[in-house]
């Protein structure tokens, strides 16, 4: 059960310095008591229980750090997401141009760049370095998975005189950021650790949409279109597309809904049966018998209960469970099923994999990346720490990382998104 404390952001101390943003017009300064309610709906079913809220993100008129003496650093970790370079650029711009911070560093290759053992040198960011990066996919700083001991990171922050560290990454990165913040606090150091959530899977709590998600959908939708054309143009054509989405089906559901061509969407949140009267294969057989083609979208984390578990328990460097390849498995099972029934099918299997996340951000993700980055800078300059930028009801907010990582966001099968997927595909409820 949550308590009010779960939504209180840690601060390094009182904000006594006038923000240099006062020289700009129409800044829209906010006070810390401006908050956004978690529950924004009204009605008997919503009114019961305690009501929690999160601090609204935005510039503060009085800040904690003296901009003339502060040093900020950015680190990008984990898998790529469209918009990473936009975040780096906007952090730099907000710090250097608006707060007039003299020194902004870029950490190379994720948290590993904060360990002296890596031998990696930090990048001194300049406008020449950041000017054109927003048009490129990936991250100019490089990224990697895996933690570095928080003591080692804090030693580096002290050695390099870094006051604010911006940690751009997913769940694992945010957990790492929290540990760094705790270690700095334990040593009584004035270091602000601010997270910016990043995942194309869109599976971080208190983040309605992650930057990169809509770009990934756009690319995934192109692949679905191709698979659909292939399926329609062959007798008993089946297009089978595997999309990223380790533990959440947002990409598969979103791309399928955007395309409107999918007939089956298989996601990790809904275990399905393969065999039997109510299984997936029987439903696919019925679809082919009635419409002569089918488009199947499967999220990489779907159907893991059907796969052999010889790799069970294996994790990647971020501690995420490594899944078996459900796409290849389904491809073989579909072929076997129809072969055994003497039915010829034309199955085309597409796995766009990294293609959907390694591209430059689309306009909506560019805007979101920019806003999240600037809000992160305002939070850091105000001495907020152990927190990340989140979004609630289209408002950007400050979320204590400990609360954000306490659970995982999953596709709610009672949500409008999933209901729309069910209506547009006409697939059975497994």
The least CB distance from residue 255 to ligand F6P, in Å, is 13
Site membership for ligand F6P, residue 175 (CB under 6 A): no
Site membership for ligand F6P, residue 357 (CB under 6 A): yes
The least CB distance from residue 87 to ligand F6P, in Å, is 15
Site string for ligand F6P, 23-62 (x = CB under 6 A): ----------------------------------------
Site membership for ligand F6P, residue 300 (CB under 6 A): yes
Site string for ligand F6P, 127-146 (x = CB under 6 A): ------------------x-
Alpha-carbon distance of 53 to 5, in angstroms, equals: 11
Give the nearer residue to ligand F6P in terms of CB position, either 293 or 357.
Answer: 357
Site membership for ligand F6P, residue 242 (CB under 6 A): no
Nearest by Cα to 249 from 236, 261, 264: 264
Active site residue 201: yes
In this chain, which stretch among 26-34, 243-251, 259-267, 411-419 interacts with ligand F6P, using CB under 6 A? 243-251
Site membership for ligand F6P, residue 201 (CB under 6 A): yes
Where in 75-134 is the site for ligand F6P (CB under 6 A)? 78-79
Alpha-carbon distance of 292 to 96, in angstroms, equals: 59
Query: Which residue among 26, 131, 190, 201 is the active-site one?
Result: 201
Q: Which residues contact 337 (CB under 8 A, 6 or more apart)?
A: 281, 284, 285
Instruction: Judge whether 210 and 198 are in contact, CB under 8 Å.
Output: yes
Nearest by Cα to 346 from 216, 240, 253, 426: 240
Instruction: Judge whether 357 and 218 are in contact, CB under 8 Å.
Output: no
Alpha-carbon distance of 409 to 419, in angstroms, equals: 17
Instruction: Judge whether 294 and 264 are in contact, CB under 8 Å.
Output: yes
Q: Which of 91, 154, 244, 295 binds ligand F6P (CB under 6 A)?
A: 244
The least CB distance from residue 246 to ligand F6P, in Å, is 4
Q: Which residues contact 269 (CB under 8 A, 6 or more apart)?
A: 248, 249, 410, 411, 413
Q: Which two tokens stand for residue 204?
A: 């971080």
In this chain, which stretch among 44-52, 105-113, 117-125, 241-249 interacts with ligand F6P, using CB under 6 A? 241-249
Q: Which of 113, 150, 245, 400 binds ligand F6P (CB under 6 A)?
A: 245
Site membership for ligand F6P, residue 246 (CB under 6 A): yes
Site membership for ligand F6P, residue 285 (CB under 6 A): no
Q: Which residues of 215-224 are buried (b: 16+ CB within 10 A; e: fewer)?
A: bbbbbbbebb
The least CB distance from residue 145 to ligand F6P, in Å, is 6
Site membership for ligand F6P, residue 176 (CB under 6 A): no
DSSP character string of 210-258: -TTHHHHHHHHHHHHHHHHHHHHTSTTEEEEEEE--SS--HHHHHHHHH
Between the alpha carbon of residue 132 and those of residues 113, 126, 167, 184, 228, the distances in Å are 23, 12, 22, 34, 36
CB-count exposure of residue 23 (10 Å: 0-12, 13-18, 19+): exposed
Alpha-carbon distance of 203 to 197, in angstroms, equals: 10
In this chain, which stretch among 26-34, 238-246, 379-387, 398-406 interacts with ligand F6P, using CB under 6 A? 238-246
Give the nearer residue to ligand F6P in terms of CB position, either 182 or 201.
Answer: 201
Give the nearer residue to ligand F6P in terms of CB position, either 170 or 386.
Answer: 170
Q: Which of 316, 355, 410, 420 binds ligand F6P (CB under 6 A)?
A: 316
Any idea which residues carry the catalytic annotation? 201
* Sites of contact with ligand F6P (CB under 6 A): 78-79, 145, 170, 199-201, 244-246, 300, 316, 357
């Amino acid at each position: 059960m949550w308590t009010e404390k779960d939504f209180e952001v840690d601060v390094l101390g009182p904000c006594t310095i006038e923000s240099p943003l006062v020289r700009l017009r129409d800044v829209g300064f906010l006070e810390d008591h401006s908050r956004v309610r978690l529950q924004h709906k009204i009605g008997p079913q919503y009114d019961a229980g305690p009501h929690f809220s999160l601090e609204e993100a935005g510039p503060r008129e009085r800040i904690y750090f003296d901009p003339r003496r502060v040093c900020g650093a950015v680190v990008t970790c984990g898998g790529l997401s469209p918009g990473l370079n936009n975040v780096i650029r906007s952090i730099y711009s907000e710090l250097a141009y608006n707060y007039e911070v003299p020194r902004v560093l870029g950490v190379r290759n994720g948290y590993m760049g904060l360990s002296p053992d890596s031998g990696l040198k930090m990048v001194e960011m300049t406008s020449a370095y950041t000017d054109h990066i927003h048009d490129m996919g990936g991250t100019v700083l490089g990224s990697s998975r895996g933690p570095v001991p928080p003591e080692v990171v804090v030693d580096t922050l002290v050695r390099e005189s870094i006051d604010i560290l911006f940690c751009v990454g997913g769940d694992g990165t945010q957990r790492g950021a929290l540990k760094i913040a705790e270690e700095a606090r334990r040593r009584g150091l004035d270091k602000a650790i601010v997270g910016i959530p990043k995942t194309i899977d869109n599976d971080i709590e208190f983040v309605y949409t992650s930057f990169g998600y809509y770009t990934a959908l756009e690319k995934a939708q192109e692949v679905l279109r191709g698979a659909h054309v292939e399926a329609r143009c062959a007798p008993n054509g089946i297009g089978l597309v595997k999309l990223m989405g380790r533990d959440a089906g947002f990409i598969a559901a979103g791309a399928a809904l955007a395309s409107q061509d999918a007939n089956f969407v298989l996601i990790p949140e809904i275990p399905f049966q393969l065999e039997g009267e109510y299984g997936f294969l029987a439903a696919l057989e019925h679809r082919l018998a009635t419409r002569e083609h089918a488009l199947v979208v499967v999220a990489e984390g779907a159907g893991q209960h059907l796969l052999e578990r010889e790799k069970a328990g294996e994790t990647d460097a971020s501690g995420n469970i490594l899944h078996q390849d459900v796409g290849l498995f389904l491809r073989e099972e579909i072929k076997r099923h129809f072969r055994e029934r003497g039915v010829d099918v034309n199955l085309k299997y597409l796995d766009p994999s990294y293609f959907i996340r390694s591209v430059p951000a689309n306009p909506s993700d560019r805007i979101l990346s920019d806003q999240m980055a600037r809000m992160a800078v305002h939070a850091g300059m105000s001495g907020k720490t152990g927190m990340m930028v989140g979004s609630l009801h289209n408002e950007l907010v400050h979320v204590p990382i400990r609360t954000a990582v306490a659970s995982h966001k999953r596709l709610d099968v009672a949500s409008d998104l999933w209901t729309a997927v069910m209506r547009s595909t006409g697939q059975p409820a497994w």
